[in-house]
């Protein structure tokens, strides 16, 4: 138990240390997360977000890319006139338009300024730790704050090495947000960062600014607190330990209301479909390749990924996986591992242990799915599943070891008991603290046997020889009694008490007992003619009881039937016969149709018996010759 607890504690600590590892994150955010989305199913698309895309038809009709800035300006103006509340331009405007002498740039800048609630894109570059290829730029104009002054807490905000920003003409008339998407180890886009660090400042994300414009939030209403949450107006949205927000995808390509840019320019889109909406302008043309892999789609346009992040921010519906949650998951791992260990070690059968652990595993998966579907909580699966499997395996292994030890111990006890009680009783005693037959009255055949002249013969033997002789004598009795299905209840020096009917009575117990008596007397005569044996038998009710005190006990047959059998054996000694059986036993044998067993026996009239007031009728055989 202690070793198991140490191992489980180590697993929990290891989980806390490794739970944010990219590879392990990839396990939880790979196929497992895809299945969570698919089990939940697509969600209702928002009505306050729309998308305008430069699709294959639009690209072919204009015949070039990038589009002329005048065309882009026309898109902005049409959206403004249609009543769009805010516009997000997912098109990089980092270079001057060629051959227009800046006229096209001015036209687009004027259109963005007229709209008043526009957000344009910037891209942050990462050099994987290598020195930056370009100079560090001043980004105070587009940043939401300095990292030193932000309450960022102890987390590790992602830091970029370079920035590809819009032209100053566009920066001066629109908000600027990064459009970087974070892909997981398996290449899927899982996380969007509301802010990325660059040059000591925080560059806000495109969706963050668009959501703020749509909800009329000033930049001063956006920030981060010490708990690692995003302050977004009156909301405090939980983020992960790198200040990222898990993307809660709503569905496949086309889930958001999406319209062709050419249809917009040709005025084919009714203005009410765009009024008061946040409209994102991007590309979906196949040749432009701005596509991402998501749980619902292998080629979701990047503008739809940004629309998803915008929707998550506006509704506070991003997937939650906070550092505090990881601590709770570590505690859950310990609890699950302990539970699976106990289910395994306490299982009555191996298959039950496997079934119980499988049920626990399914229960955790159901819990994780419910938390995902109804609370947007991304609860870990890999760690808890590993804990359940490992704990269950350790429990079942411990159960097998324990069963083996108990089985060996039971065999040892059974073997020890079998040396002192009959084997059939040893089996019962080894399995139960109190045998089922204890003090229960039932019919049984009882036989006492004794050697003639043993006391006189012992005077001429040494104690060792006497002990060896008795061992041989007892072995002879044991073999014959076992062959006839009886038990030796007690060895009484040069005699023995034998029973038929325990632990369970059988109909032919009297027949077995008399057949055994005849064979035994003949066998003992051949074994040691100098000390022939004599026997007394009776059939009637007896009680097999566990007698003795608290610290020492023994099994004993009790009742008048036992006393009568003992007196009949004494009568054989007094009359000089070798076998005496009661009239009750003869009647029982005759009822079973075994008259042959009574051959050689002679009926005796009622005779007084020592220790009893009433005389007893019995049958006897004078010598072994009468039994042959």
Mean pLDDT of 279-300: 87
Residues 6+ apart with CB under 8 A from 282: 51, 52, 53, 54, 90, 91, 290, 301, 302, 303, 306
Question: Per-residue confidence at 27, pLDDT binned at 50, 70, 90?
Answer: low
Report d(CA 336, CA 408) in Å as an integer.
31
Question: Per-residue confidence at 312, pLDDT binned at 50, 70, 90?
Answer: very high
Residues 6+ apart with CB under 8 A from 565: 446, 447, 448, 536, 537, 538, 582
CATH 3.30.70.1230 in the chain is located at: 432-626
Least confident window among 44-58, 111-125, 180-194 = 180-194
Report d(CA 428, CA 422) in Å as an integer.
10
Question: Per-residue confidence at 154, pLDDT binned at 50, 70, 90?
Answer: very low
Share of the chain above pLDDT 70, in %: 84
Question: Per-residue confidence at 324, pLDDT binned at 50, 70, 90?
Answer: confident
Specify the residue for token string 């300095």: 146
- Tens of pLDDT along 582-616? 999 999 999 999 998 899 898 888 877 776 777 88
Model confidence at 240: pLDDT above 80:
yes
Question: Per-residue confidence at 149, pLDDT binned at 50, 70, 90?
Answer: very low
Out of 25-34, 323-332, 385-394, 571-580, give the one with best mean pLDDT.
571-580
Question: Per-residue confidence at 425, pLDDT binned at 50, 70, 90?
Answer: low
CATH superfamily for 432-626 is Nucleotide cyclase, GGDEF domain (3.30.70.1230)
Q: Are 467 and 563 in contact (CB under 8 A)?
A: no
Report d(CA 211, CA 223) in Å as an integer.
14
Model confidence at 6: pLDDT above 90:
no
Model confidence at 129: pLDDT above 60:
no
pLDDT at 71: 93
List 444's β-bridge partners, or say none.
Answer: 540
- Tens of pLDDT along 455-506? 777 777 788 888 888 888 889 999 999 999 998 888 888 899 999 987 788 9
Residue 179, token pair as written in the block:
């459009």
């Amino acid at each position: 138990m202690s070793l198991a607890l140490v191992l489980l504690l180590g697993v929990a600590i290891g989980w806390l240390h490794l739970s944010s590892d990219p590879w392990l994150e990839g396990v939880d955010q790979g196929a497992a997360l895809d299945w969570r989305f698919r089990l939940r199913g697509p969600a209702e698309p928002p009505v306050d977000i729309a998308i305008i895309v430069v699709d294959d038809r639009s690209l072919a009709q204009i015949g070039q890319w990038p589009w002329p800035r005048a065309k882009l300006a026309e898109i902005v103006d049409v959206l403004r006139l249609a009543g769009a509340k805010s516009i997000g331009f997912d098109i990089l405007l980092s270079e001057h338009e060629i051959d227009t002498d800046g006229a096209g740039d001015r036209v687009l800048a004027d259109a963005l300024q007229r709209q008043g609630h526009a957000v344009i894109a910037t891209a942050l570059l990462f050099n994987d730790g290598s020195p930056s290829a370009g100079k560090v730029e001043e980004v105070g104009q587009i940043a939401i704050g300095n990292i030193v002054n932000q309450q960022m807490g102890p987390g590790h905000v992602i830091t970029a090495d370079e920035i590809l920003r819009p032209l100053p003409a566009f920066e001066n008339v629109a908000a600027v947000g990064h459009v970087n998407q974070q892909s997981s180890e398996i290449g899927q886009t899982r996380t969007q960062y509301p802010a990325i660090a660059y040059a000591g400042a925080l560059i806000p994300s495109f969706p963050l600014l668009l959501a703020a414009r749509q909800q009329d939030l000033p930049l001063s209403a956006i920030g981060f607190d010490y708990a690692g949450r995003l302050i977004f107006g009156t909301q405090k949205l939980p983020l992960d330990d790198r200040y990222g927000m898990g993307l809660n995808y709503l569905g496949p390509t086309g889930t958001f209301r999406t319209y062709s840019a050419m249809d917009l320019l040709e005025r084919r889109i009714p203005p009410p479909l765009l009024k008061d909406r946040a409209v994102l302008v991007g590309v979906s043309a196949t040749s432009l390749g701005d596509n991402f892999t998501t749980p619902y789609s292998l080629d979701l346009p990047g503008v739809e990924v940004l629309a998803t992040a915008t929707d998550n921010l506006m509704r506070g519906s991003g997937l939650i996986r906070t550092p505090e949650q990881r601590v709770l998951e570590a505690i859950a791992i310990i609890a699950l591992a302990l539970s699976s260990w106990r289910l395994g070690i306490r299982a009555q059968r191996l298959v039950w242990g496997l079934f119980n652990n499988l049920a626990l595993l399914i229960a955790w998966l159901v819990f994780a799915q419910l938390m995902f579907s109804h609370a947007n909580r991304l609860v870990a699966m890999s760690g808890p599943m590993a804990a359940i499997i490992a704990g269950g395996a350790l429990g079942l292994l411990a159960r097998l070891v324990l069963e083996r030890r108990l089985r060996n111990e039971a065999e040892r006890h059974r073997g020890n008991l079998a040396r002192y009680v009959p084997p059939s009783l040893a089996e019962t005693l080894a399995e139960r603290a109190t045998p089922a037959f204890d003090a229960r009255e039932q019919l049984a055949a009882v036989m006492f046997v004794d050697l003639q002249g043993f006391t006189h013969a012992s005077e001429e033997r040494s104690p060792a020889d006497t002990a060896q002789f008795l061992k041989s004598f007892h072995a002879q009795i044991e073999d014959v009694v076992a062959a006839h299905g009886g038990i030796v209840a007690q060895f009484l020096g040069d005699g023995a008490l034998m029973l038929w009917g325990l632990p369970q009575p059988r109909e032919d117990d009297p027949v077995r007992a008399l057949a055994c008596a005849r064979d035994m007397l003949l066998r003992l005569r051949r074994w040691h003619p100098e000390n022939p044996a004599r026997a007394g038998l009776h059939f009637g009710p007896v009680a097999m009881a566990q007698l003795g005190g608290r610290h020492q006990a023994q099994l004993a047959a009790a009742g008048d039937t036992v006393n009568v059998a003992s007196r009949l054996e004494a009568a054989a000694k007094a009359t000089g016969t070798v076998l005496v059986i009661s009239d009750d036993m003869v009647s029982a044998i005759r009822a079973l149709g075994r008259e042959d067993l009574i051959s050689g026996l002679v009926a005796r009239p009622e005779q007084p018996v020592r220790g009893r007031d009433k005389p007893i009728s019995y049958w006897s055989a004078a010598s072994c010759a009468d039994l042959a």
